[in-house]
Amino acid sequence: MAAFDPEKEIPHHIAIIMDGNGRWAKDRGKPRREGHRAGAVSVETALETCGEIGVQYLTLYAFSSENWKRPKSEVNALMGLLAHFLKEKTPTLMKNNIRLQVIGQIDRLPEKNRLGLQKTIEKTADNDGLTLVVALSYGSREEIVGATRTLMEKAKRGEIDPADLDTETFSRYLDTAGMPDPDLLIRTSGEYRISNFLLWQISYSEIVITRTFWPDFRRQHLLDAIGEYQSRQRRFGGI
Ligand code: IPE
Ligand code: IPE
Ligand code: MG
């Protein structure tokens, strides 16, 4: 694996499928929620590292549309951790000039989480360092259907001509409107799948899968993944 080189191109946008919390806990004979709790430390580390090397967007897959299928106790533990993170870490986000944004069906979240998110998003809105995008109750298919529905309604009202629809216009109706596409997609825990994450946006992302479980994912793992990215030749269909 090629070593990280701060002189080479730094990905503008890194997206991470933070996976393996449950298996990390199981290996230690602990309940799954302990894995999620330990994973919060990795989030902090990733934020610090991205801020330090000049990444502009970090998108973290924290909870998928399909994760609602998990036992209520686990869902509650995850929502509790989110509320705790927002409460504890908003001052750190302010101090480090980090702006918070969210993608996903936020209206499905408990009120406490919605309010907490709204507060931190508003508070950090003018920060112009790293943008942290948290994917919550996020599913890419749902996002694409939502965008399509909005566009169809507009067309029905005569506000948009279907003949004018192109990929750029369509992108503006996704939750990620205005964000650059991820340059680098990382999935931890050695699973080789996308799990309904950013299907549209990762068309040309470089993909790095690491075997490390998310709670063990540290600065060096992230730098190694970026080093791997820097060694790739992106062609975007050209030669
Ligand atoms: C990722 O870890 C966190 C979420 C999906 C919320 P998992 O909870 O999926 O951990 P594993 O995959 O079962 O090990
Ligand atoms: C993907 O992980 C979702 C998040 C990391 C939030 P999952 O653990 O839910 O994915 P599958 O079920 O293994 O595909
Ligand atoms: Mg998993």
Q: Which atom of ligand 1 is nearest to the CA of 78?
A: 6
- Alpha-carbon torsion (3, 6, 11, 15), positive or negative: positive
Catalytic annotation present for 19? yes
Q: Which of 67, 96, 127, 196 is catalytic?
A: 67
On whether the pTM is more than 0.75, the answer is: yes
Closest ligand to residue 213's CA:
1
Q: Are strands 206-209 and 13-17 parallel, antiparallel or unpaired?
A: unpaired
pLDDT digits (tens, 9 = 90+) for 84-133: 999 999 999 999 999 999 999 999 999 999 999 999 999 999 999 999 99
- Distance (Å) from CA 161 to ligand 1 centroid: 42
Closest-CA residue to 234 (of 197, 198, 200, 207): 207
- Nearest-CA residue for atom 3 of ligand 2: 64
Ligand 1 pocket test target in 76, 189, 194, 213 with most atoms within 8 Å of CB: 189
pLDDT digits (tens, 9 = 90+) for 137-177: 999 999 999 999 999 999 999 999 999 999 999 999 999 99
- Distance (Å) from CA 79 to ligand 1 centroid: 14
13-139+180-230 belongs to CATH 3.20.20.140: no
